[in-house]
Chain A
């Protein structure tokens, strides 16, 4: 054999090896669409394009029911809580003297000042320039009662004569319902259907746990995190990232039966991971959970993701609910609450909090890892960084590491946006 043909043979063998083993890709290869159905991958512009973000606020966040706080944060008549939804729309939630919870845009109809400034309080306390029981805008002293009526305009007649009167100047009220474990839900769309139509039967598998006895918040934490809101929600919708969490590997993934855990997608983009049992004491320094919620087995774990950005995660003794407010393509306000039962004794409450803090809270083992990842993901897929397509193609018979949770999210996203996630420049009806 000539030395030339030997070299050619070696080259051919090398090529063969490469095609089997793969190799790093050049730009053209890296930019190619994955060889997958359009439902199984997405274009990273869905995270980075400001026009898409604006459209998401308009077509999704301004239209769907959003949980914003918990009834136990407003337990007494005239308690109030300020919040916000869908970008930067400020909201104030008030429990009336009639015990009904209402919510309003927290914007004064006079000159646009924010009406209630404090995160929470009771209207009985009054304010430096207004009467007790009312919400007073500090700027010119307009006052609104707990039902949103404008009840005081200083020197009303002198300035407006008969051209404008307080009867016309009430606050903008929002559709409000209290449900699913006592959460206060609002919808910016006055013409929306009832909350029950939106959540459908998604909560059925957790209803006994959430709605048998009243819940009470014991943990509240928030952070503005530098990531796209969908990336944060997606960490709750896929469990393949058990590899990120040592705690989940030790207490869940390496335990018998874990991979049988079922994933269910519901209408309107909601998705649930069914009951599984966690071996908490497999993590050094932790112990099995001695408390639980009504109907939930000891050490059980169920999780429900509500489109477009809320997660209920119930790990036997404590419930974690995460909500978010998108701020821009790469910024999101994340609010996380922990719950026990209102009837807890102080000892029971302490035990629930201890369990909660092992993995959750800013110093828990899992939450920090999740937040660390999503902000770094967002760096990698910045416009121009070259990260182009992400895959969500795992199919494992709708069990725990199947990426059906991601696909069902983008199915709903496409329906509401009228765009394809795999090619957002194309209309989904094209």
Chain B
């Protein structure tokens, strides 16, 4: 059905862009609200040509991600802002299952705050990482939600890293 596919694609786009906006604003709970509590799985992966293996740098379910957010105030973090710029390139939709797959290219910038020598560097923006989101999105009951997000990085040198998910 053409119309429902169109609607699905629209919902997928909105969900992915909203996920970037919530993360950019560090509204962690609003981000979690976009995820399917029961099945959500989040991971950051890449392929390392150095060891010639796929590797995983973070994997969490909904609860695991929530505890990361809850514990942020107890940790010493580089609180520089990460800004995700995304473009959704491809959406596949399975109307039987009401599930979509989306491929999104993402560029992440870091705007320094207190990571290093704030007198010199706060306010300066640099490229932090490039990669893609590979999402599985549920479209039940007219509401899109994230069931799975794989952040597949091209960038393998991410400086001092981050306490924030990408």
Q: Which residues of B contact A221 (CB under 8 A)?
A: 57, 156
CA separation between A363 and B70, bound complex, in Å?
16
Q: Are B56 and A353 in contact (CB under 8 A)?
A: yes
* With A120-B50, A375-B116: A361-B58 Cβ-Cβ less than 8 Å: yes
Segment from A156-164, A212-220, A271-279, A405-413 that makes contact with B: A212-220
* B72-85 contact mask (Cβ, 8 Å, vs A): 1 or 0: 00111110000000
Q: Which residues of A contact B78 (CB under 8 A)?
A: 368, 372
* A347-363 contact mask (Cβ, 8 Å, vs B): 1 or 0: 00000011001000111
- By beta carbon, the residue of chain A nearest B151 is A363
Segment from B4-12, B102-110, B133-141, B158-166 that makes contact with A: B158-166
- By beta carbon, the residue of chain A nearest B53 is A218
Q: Are A284 and B70 in contact (CB under 8 A)?
A: yes
Interface residue total, chain A, C-beta cutoff 8 A: 40
* With A246-B74, A361-B58: A368-B162 Cβ-Cβ less than 8 Å: yes
* With A361-B161, A365-B163: A379-B57 Cβ-Cβ less than 8 Å: no
B157 interface residue (CB < 8 Å to A): yes
Q: Are B117 and A220 in contact (CB under 8 A)?
A: no
- By beta carbon, the residue of chain A nearest B75 is A246
B1 interface residue (CB < 8 Å to A): no
- By beta carbon, the residue of chain B nearest A244 is B76
Q: Which residues of B contact A118 (CB under 8 A)?
A: 49
A285 interface residue (CB < 8 Å to B): yes
CA separation between A353 and B116, bound complex, in Å?
29
Task: Provide the main secondary structure of the chain B interface.
Answer: loop
Q: Which of A119, A337, A364, A365 contacts B49 (CB 8 A)?
A: A119
B95 interface residue (CB < 8 Å to A): no
- By beta carbon, the residue of chain A nearest B48 is A220
* With A284-B70, A285-B67: A362-B161 Cβ-Cβ less than 8 Å: yes
A11 interface residue (CB < 8 Å to B): no
Q: Which residues of A contact B44 (CB under 8 A)?
A: 363
Q: Which residues of B contact A119 (CB under 8 A)?
A: 49-50
Q: Which of B51, B157, B165 contacts A73 (CB 8 A)?
A: B51
CA separation between A379 and B52, bound complex, in Å?
36
* With A120-B51, A220-B51, A362-B162: A376-B71 Cβ-Cβ less than 8 Å: no
B166 nearest CB across to chain A (Å): 8
Segment from A23-31, A105-113, A222-230, A252-260 that makes contact with B: A222-230
CA separation between A361 and B78, bound complex, in Å?
15
Q: Are B50 and A220 in contact (CB under 8 A)?
A: yes
* A158-199 contact mask (Cβ, 8 Å, vs B): 1 or 0: 000000000000000000000000000000000000000000
CA separation between A373 and B48, bound complex, in Å?
27
CA separation between A72 and B115, bound complex, in Å?
35
Sort chain B's interface into a size bin. 35 or more
Q: Are B117 and A379 in contact (CB under 8 A)?
A: yes
A204 interface residue (CB < 8 Å to B): no
Q: Which residues of A contact B76 (CB under 8 A)?
A: 244, 246, 369, 372-373
B68 interface residue (CB < 8 Å to A): yes
A52 interface residue (CB < 8 Å to B): no
Task: Provide the main secondary structure of the chain A interface.
Answer: mixed
Q: Which of B51, B67, B74, B160 contacts A223 (CB 8 A)?
A: B160
Q: Are A376 and B116 in contact (CB under 8 A)?
A: yes
CA separation between A153 and B50, bound complex, in Å?
29
Q: Which residues of B contact A224 (CB under 8 A)?
A: 157
Q: Which residues of B contact A361 (CB under 8 A)?
A: 57-58, 161
Q: Are B116 and A226 in contact (CB under 8 A)?
A: yes
Q: Which residues of A contact B66 (CB under 8 A)?
A: 285
CA separation between A226 and B112, bound complex, in Å?
15
Q: Are A371 and B161 in contact (CB under 8 A)?
A: yes
B130 nearest CB across to chain A (Å): 15
CA separation between A37 and B70, bound complex, in Å?
45
B63 interface residue (CB < 8 Å to A): yes
Which A residues, 308 to 366, have Cβ-Cβ distances below 8 Å to chain B?
A: 337, 353-354, 357, 361-365
A393 interface residue (CB < 8 Å to B): no
Which B residues, 121 to 166, have Cβ-Cβ distances below 8 Å to chain A?
A: 156-163, 165
B55 interface residue (CB < 8 Å to A): yes
Please list 21 pairs of residues, one from A and one from B, whose beta carbons are closer than 8 Å in the complex, sorted by A's number.
A120-B49, A120-B50, A121-B52, A217-B51, A220-B51, A220-B55, A244-B76, A246-B71, A246-B76, A284-B67, A284-B71, A285-B71, A357-B56, A361-B58, A362-B57, A363-B165, A365-B75, A368-B77, A368-B162, A371-B160, A373-B76
Query: Chain A residues in contact with chain B, CB under 8 A?
Result: 72-73, 81, 118-121, 217-226, 244, 246, 283-285, 337, 353-354, 357, 361-365, 367-369, 371-373, 375-376, 379
Query: Chain B residues in contact with chain A, CB under 8 A?
Result: 44, 48-53, 55-59, 63-64, 66-68, 70-71, 74-78, 115-117, 156-163, 165
Going nearest first, the 8 A-B pairs with the smallest beta carbon separation are A285-B67, A362-B161, A371-B160, A363-B58, A246-B74, A119-B50, A220-B51, A379-B117
Apart from the given pairs A220-B48, A220-B53, A368-B162, 4 other A-B contacts in the complex at a CB distance below 8 Å? A219-B55, A353-B56, A357-B57, A369-B77
